[in-house]
Amino acid sequence: MSALGTVRDTVSRFTSGSATIFALLVAVLVAIAVLNPSFVEPPSLMAFLRAAAPLVVLAIGQYFVIVSGEFDLSVGALVGAQVVIAARLIDGEEANTVPVMLLMLGFAVVVGLVNGLVTTLLRVPSFITTLGMLLVLNGAIRVWTGGAPTGALSESFRQWGRSGIDMPVLRQLPWALLIAVVVAVAAVLLMRAPFGRTLVSTGDNDVAAGYAGVTVWRVRTAAFVLSSVLATLAAVLIGGFAGVTAQVGQGLEFVAITAVVLGGVVLGGGKGTVVAAIAGALTYQAIDRLFTQLDLPSTTRPVLQGVIIIAAVAYAARGRDRATSAPPAPPHRSESERTPVATG
């Protein structure tokens, strides 16, 4: 590769969406550290990562759906429903914990299948399908509980969200962080497997993917199921950390989508990496922490969050456009090809 091509590739990497989100993440973390030097101490960093872990898990699930060309607006309602169901059925009894968690997993698979099959086989736009599921879940929980959740989560259920492994220096390595790391590694491996490539190709051009032999409806339905299962895992972490309230999952669907888009994943599918989506979730959490350090009023935070996110996404999109519109590098020619050959 020529020196010009190397420079062009380097510039392209640092102006792409992924590079933008990592730069923003570092900038926000540095700003927090300047305002509060104790933030860089290991216990404080562990607390930050524990709080970010549920959003990381949710963002990974949302990434699978978005990169396949769809949306999942039901994850926030599913988180709330799963926490309420767990509290009501466990009711503080340790013996009920494992059976109820298995029931939650089965419920997540059913919700994902309904979202996926209605979207792919009945060809209802996923925006409508999952918005309907959001309303159904919220309404069903209100009818079941009368608007006031009852029961209690067991200690073995809550430990995944608020406990960890006691260690020197770190003080505690949170279970939530370990779970998020395992999910992230599994997601990266999955995206490098044939399933991940078919998922991206389906989001990029589902007609071409179909001609190439991809069963589009099956791939997209699997993405919805993965999203629901990971939303349920996030519910376990959030329920353990925040407890049981009727509003526990409120608005999380938009937060997860924002985190994924902030990471440079293209709405409409086909472009973006799961690592960038994870960075987007961490950045969103870091921005929220920064606003806490600045002691901004709650009425101002959404406005500033929106401005930062729009600016970051716009800059990343500009970088992608510049990279895709750049002319291809000229082919490398050997010395013999550049030297005229004498004839006659």
Q: What is the pLDDT of residues 125-144, one digit of tens each?
A: 999 999 999 999 999 988 88
Query: Residue 339: what pLDDT?
Result: 45
CA separation for the pair 47, 313 (Å, rounded)? 27
Any residues with CB less than 8 A from the CB of 251 and at least 6 apart, and which? 76
Residue 332 has pLDDT above 80, yes or no: no
At position 96, the amino acid (one-letter code) is N
At position 271, the amino acid (one-letter code) is K
> What would you report as the CA-atom Rg of the chain, rounded to the nearest whole angstrom?
23
At position 342, the amino acid (one-letter code) is A
156-213 confidence digits (pLDDT tens): 998 898 888 888 877 889 999 999 999 999 999 999 999 999 999 999 888 998 898 8
Residue 288 has pLDDT above 80, yes or no: yes
CA separation for the pair 4, 229 (Å, rounded)? 46
**Adjacent-strand bridge partners of 167:** 171
CA separation for the pair 199, 201 (Å, rounded)? 6
H-helix or E-strand spanning residue 51: helix 42-67
Tell me the longest C-alpha to C-alpha distance in the chain: 97
**Is residue 79 within 8 Å of 252, Cβ to Cβ?**
yes
Using DSSP, state whether 173 is helix, strand or coil.
strand
CA separation for the pair 216, 206 (Å, rounded)? 7
Residue 2 has pLDDT above 80, yes or no: no
Structure tokens at 17: 């969406």
**Is residue 59 within 8 Å of 185, Cβ to Cβ?**
no
Query: Residue 327: what pLDDT?
Result: 55
13-47 confidence digits (pLDDT tens): 544 557 778 888 999 999 999 999 988 899 999 99
Q: Quick one: which of 251, 247, 248, 278 has its CA closest to 262? A: 278
Query: Residue 17: what pLDDT?
Result: 53
